[in-house]
Amino acid sequence: MSDGDTNGRDNHEDALVLVEVWPELERAECLARGAALKWASGVFCRPEHLERLGQYRKRESQRTASINSRLKSVVQSYLEGVDWGLGQLREARAELREVSHDMHKVNLESRKNSEQVTTLETFRDVSVNHRQLFAAVSNLPRLYKVRSMVLETERLVESRRLLEAHARLMELERWQDEVLLQLQGPRGSSGTGLTSEDEELVRNYFSGVGCLVDALAKELWAVVGSGLTLSHQNPTPFVSAVRIVEREEALDHIFLEERRSTLGHNTPMPPGRPRCWRDRFFKVIEEAVSARFRSVSYLHTQGPGLASHLSALQHCIMGDLSTVRHFLEQCVPTHYHLTRAYLRSCHQFLQTHLGLVSGWELEGGEIFAVLNWVLHIYNSSEMMGEPALVAELDIEDMGPLISQEGLEQLQNKYVQKVRKSVSEWMHKALEVELTDWQRDQEPDIDHEGCYHTSLPTIIAQMLEENARVALMISEALRDQTIQMGLYEMENLLSRFRDAIIEFGKEHHRDHTINSNKFYLHYLLACISNCIILKASTECLQQQLCSFPSNRYSRIPLGPLAALDRAVRKACRLVMDHLLFELQPHLQELLSRTWLDQGDVTSNMCGVLEHHCELYNRVRQPCRQRLKEECQWLTVVEYVRALMQKRLVCKSNDERNQLVQRMSQDAQQLRDHLQSMEIDGTIGEVNPTALILALADIINVKDPVMLILEISGLVAKYPDINEEHVSALLDVRGDVPKDVRKSILDFLEQSTPPLPPGYRPIFTEILVPSSSMHFCLPTAKCT
């Protein structure tokens, strides 16, 4: 058999062995063959591609050789690593054999020494007992002196010789600690140590030491609490107390450090440690501050004495601060920052105290005192705003004395209290005003010659004073107070208007029996009062407008509207009174008596002159308004009398006489009104010119020409209607039916709109309906 056959057979056998060992190898080989066939079928799909078969074979042979060389290098490095590992395992096995041999020797030696260890434990117990006995014998002199030292230390404490007492106390505590330490044994020893019965015995024997600590602490804190008083007399006890506190703080630090360094040995702390007397020192200072300030006029705090109490607090705090800064601060270490601690204690006490005070049922003046003290006095240069104290206390960090919510509640309570007071004062002022109206004398006259009463002065001064006082607290409170005052003024003016109405009703009910002869004077005084109150109201509203960003600065408009309503009502009553006095003369107008005698108008002018003289006692602009209304009312009543057809002309002579009398009356009224400084024009209308215009209608000679005159009258007075013209034609007494019909038809067709600024005059004049008996509305009168 040839060598090739032999090698092929060997490779095949090796392949079979590998397949048996790794079944995945057969699957991988199948996949590789499939991939190779797929590649070959793609490359040699055509016969001419076979020419490059040799090239592909050479390339694949080179690639196969490269892969084989890499595999061989990997396998070689892997085998070298396995060989090194096997060498390490051989060395480790040899070392383990040596260690096992040495351990066997040690085990044999320990078995030999076990009997000797039992003997050493006996010696150790004897040593511990000996050491404890030696400690007891060596401490016998001290133990005998414990009772006497405790008694002596008690006497020192009672006599406030604090430094000496504390030195004896420290010595007693040192003895106690040394006894316990000696009985316990050295650290790390494995003896039995100190039993609980022995420790209890030692502590009972030194029980007086704990009582001494309590007694010394009591005296110590009493001295610290009275430090402010002692600093002026004898600061030595306070200095001694501070030195003792620092000693105890140092001892606490030492014991804590020892415990940290020996934490693994479970070293117990001495009884009562750490005492933390420095923290207790500042706590006592805080308690002393609270107790000291609570005693400052505390029994008289609630009620009228609140302002005095706050003032006393201020003087007490500043006096104590001066003592702390100039005396006590020199008695303590610098790191105590005693002034800062005192300030903090004061601030915390005041927060609590003022929170309690804010919850009381305070009056307006008391709330003002609290707000002023908190917002202004406390932070001023007279107290915490002093430059030397600003650096010691950060008020923003401590928080305000009263929270923002608490301040708002106090301000709201203040406004409510002031509102109640203002309402009561306004009610009383109105009662006084109503009483003044019944006086049998003329109202007071001011420097401008105008009537007035005390009401507007009282109201204005009260509101302005409340606003000024509230501004001392804050602008927001001032605005709240102004708003409240304006709302109360609105309520007052509503009651004031009702009182004016009732005043007028009473006067008209009994004007014939117990008539108030100064009724008109007080009505005019009421109008002047309203004008004064209007000026005061506008001044308060301007103060609100000065700070539009304030959330309380919504301007109430009700007071001005209420003032306007009250003024209008008073003016209406004034005109009613004028009409009442003119009524007897108006009854004679346009009658036969008036036509013959003609002195009615002169009498009317006398009444008007008297009234206008009184109107001069009213402030502007109501003075001019009353005069204009006086003119308007006179002309309206004159025309009303004409429309009542009291006089119907029966001839041209009567018409001429009527026209002449009306022209004279118009001229006379105009002259009197001008003499009384009354402008003839009201709202684009001249009232007295209307009388002349009506006289011209009556004076037309030819009735046919009436339509032209009436069209001009309608153009000038567009509110005139058919009834007015018909009544005017009836007064003439000579208008034919066809002319009347044409005029009325013209009026019906022409209804011009009222021009801007025109004040209707004919709408106030109702024409009485003519009574036509036995005339049905559905049938035409014949």
Mean pLDDT calculated for residue range 72-85: 89
In the chain, the largest separation of any two C-alpha atoms, in whole Å, equals 183
> Rounded distance, CA 312 to CA 500, Å?
51
| pLDDT reported for residue 499 | 92
Query: What is the CB neighbour count within 10 angstroms for residue 531?
Result: 21
The mean-pLDDT minimum among 100-114, 141-155, 283-297, 593-607 falls in: 141-155
Distances, alpha carbon 623 to alpha carbons 253, 270, 454, 608, 616, in Å: 92, 99, 20, 14, 6
What confidence category does residue 684 fall into, taking pLDDT thresholds of 50, 70 and 90? low
Q: Looking at residue 299, what is its pLDDT?
A: 46
Q: Which residue has the higher pLDDT, 273 or 648?
A: 648
Res. 471: pLDDT tops 70:
yes
Q: Spell out the alpha helix ranges (H) of 298-363.
A: 306-326, 338-358
The span from the CA of 91 to the CA of 191, in Å, is 46
pLDDT band, residue 751 (cuts 50/70/90): confident
HEC-encoded secondary structure of 608-622: HHHHHHHHCCCCCCH
Share of the chain above pLDDT 90, in %: 10
User: pLDDT tens digits, residue range 260-270?
Assistant: 776 544 566 77
Least confident piece of the model among 62-71, 353-362, 541-550:
541-550
pLDDT confidence bin for 19, thresholds 50/70/90: very low
**264 vs 699, more confident:** 699
Euclidean distance between CA atoms 200 and 154, whole angstroms: 23
Q: Which of 20-29, 186-195, 251-260, 363-372 has the lowest mean pLDDT?
A: 186-195
Could you tell me whether strands 444-445 and 451-452 are parallel, antiparallel, or unpaired per DSSP bridges? antiparallel
CB 600 within 8 A of CB 585: yes
pLDDT score recorded for residue 551: 46
The dihedral sign for the CA sequence 569, 573, 578, 582:
positive
> Is pLDDT above 70 for 775?
no
CA proximity to 272, closest of 195, 339, 206: 206
Length of the chain: 782
Residue 128 CB coordination number (10 Å): 16
Overall average pLDDT of the 183-202 stretch: 57
Q: Residue 334's pLDDT is what?
A: 85
Tell me how far CA of residue 250 lies from CA of 221, 281, 344, in angstroms: 18, 15, 26
Q: Mean pLDDT, to the nearest integer, of 361-373?
A: 88
CA 74-76-79 angle, 5° bins: 110
Distance (Å, rounded) from C-alpha 160 to C-alpha 720?
112
Give the per-residue pLDDT at 511. Answer: 61
For the chain, what is the radius of gyration of the CA atoms? 60
Neighbours of 368 (CB within 10 A): 22
Main-chain phi, psi angles of 333, to 5 degrees: -65, 155
Q: pLDDT tens, 501-527?
A: 999 888 887 665 456 788 899 999 999
3-state secondary structure of 445: strand
Q: What is the mean pLDDT of residues 207-229?
A: 81
CA distance 562 to 568: 10
How far separated are the first and last CA of the chain, in Å rounded? 170
Tokens standing for residue 327: 């005396």
What digits encode the pLDDT tens for the residues 434-456?
A: 999 888 888 988 888 898 888 99
Do residues 453 and 433 make contact, with C-beta atoms less than 8 angstroms apart? yes
Higher-confidence position of 668 and 390: 668
Closest listed residue to residue 436, CA positions, set 451, 423, 415: 451
Q: Which amino acid is at 576?
A: D
- Mind listing the pLDDT tens digit for each residue in 29-47? 888 888 878 877 777 777 7
Cis peptide before 274 (omega within 30 of 0): yes
Quick one: pLDDT at residue 431?
92
Position 8 scores a pLDDT of: 47
Helix, strand, coil percentages (3-state) for the chain, rounded to 5, are: 75, 0, 25
pLDDT digits (tens, 9 = 90+) for 555-599: 666 788 889 999 999 999 999 999 998 888 888 888 887 887 767
Q: What pLDDT does 394 receive?
A: 66
Q: Among 331, 254, 249, which residue's Cα sits nearest to residue 285?
A: 331
DSSP SS3 for 451 = strand
Half-sphere exposure of 626 (CA within 13 A, CB side): 35
Of 760, 757, 753, nearest to 724 by C-alpha is 760
DSSP track, 669-703: HHHHHHHTT--S-BTTB-HHHHHHHHHHHHH-SSG
pLDDT grade, residue 427 (50/70/90)?
very high
275 close to 248: Cβ distance less than 8 angstroms: yes
CA dihedral 410, 411, 413, 415 (to 10 degrees): 160
Residues forming a β-bridge with 318? none
Q: Which residues of 383-397 are buried (b: 16+ CB within 10 A; e: fewer)?
A: bbeeeebeebbeeee
The angle at the Cα of 696, spanning 690 to 700, to the nearest 5 degrees, equals: 155
Mean pLDDT of 472-498: 90
DSSP string, 257-286: HHHHHTGGGTPPPPTT----HHHHHHHHHH
Closest CA to 705 of 735, 730, 726: 735
CA-CA distance, 214 to 234, in Å (whole number)? 24
CB 640 within 8 A of CB 724: no
Bond into 621 cis (ω within 30): yes
User: Higher pLDDT residue, 274 or 48?
Assistant: 274
What pLDDT score was predicted for residue 780? 41
> Distance (Å, rounded) from C-alpha 523 to C-alpha 529?
10
Between 545 and 315, residue with greater pLDDT: 315
Q: Give ∠ CA 29-30-33 in degrees, rounded to 5.
A: 85
Q: Which residues pair with 237 in a beta bridge?
A: none
pLDDT-wise least confident of 218-232, 296-310, 384-398, 665-679: 296-310
Provide φ and ψ at 444, rounded to 5°: -65, 150
Mean residue pLDDT of the chain comes to 80
pLDDT at residue 670 is higher than 80 = yes
Average pLDDT (98-111) is 84
pLDDT, tens digit, 9 for 90 and up, residues 116-138: 666 777 777 777 777 767 766 66
Per-residue pLDDT, 416: 92
Residue 379 burial (CB count, 10 A): 15
pLDDT above 70 covers what percent of the chain? Answer: 82
User: Could you tell me the pLDDT band of residue 191, with boundaries at 50, 70 and 90?
Assistant: very low
β-bridge partners, 451? 445
What pLDDT score does 267 carry? 61
Distance (Å, rounded) from C-alpha 419 to C-alpha 425? 10
Say what the pTM is.
0.67
Rounded CA-CA distance 775/769 in Å is 13
Quick one: tokens of 186? 């050295």
> What mean pLDDT comes out for the span 615-639?
89
Stated as kind and residue range, the H or E segment containing 452 is strand 451-452
Is the model more confident about 217 or about 145?
Answer: 217
